Amino acid sequence: MPEGDKPKGVGEGCVDFYDETAKISINLVPFEKTANIPRIGEQVYLPGTPEKRDGGLFQVSSVLHSFGFDENDDLPGLNPARLLQITVTVKRLS
């Protein structure tokens, strides 16, 4: 496989909304469809999955930005990185 053509992880390039109580990801939203990232303490309504009907109102408890090495950046003398995923951990309110 040519360099730079590595397969992506499931949530790579996405905002992952993770329910800390149920210990599951509720929604994945691609970066290009994300208008903003909720901050700690804010409330968000998430649709969840139709099969489980696990959507509802949540409060953001943490936000983690995960970066990885950028093999396609050739800046000399630097350690180039790129944003891989943002995990927004939430707690159910309703």
Tokens 């360099």 sit on residue: 3
Look at residue 51 in the predicted model and tell me its pLDDT: 74
Task: Give the three-state DSSP class for 42.
Answer: coil
**What are the structural domain ranges in the chain?**
14-92
Rg (CA), the chain: 16
Rounded CA-CA distance 7/23 in Å is: 25
Where residue 94 falls among pLDDT bands split at 50, 70, 90? confident
Instruction: Look at residues 92, 87, 83 and name the one whose alpha carbon lies nearest to residue 25.
Output: 87
Instruction: Give the strand order in the sheet containing 43-46.
Output: 24-30, 14-19, 81-92, 56-69, 43-46
C-alpha 46: how far from chain center:
14
pLDDT tens-digit map of 36-70? 999 999 999 999 777 777 789 999 999 999 998 87
Question: Model pTM greater than 0.95?
Answer: no
Distance CA 31, CA 24 (A): 20
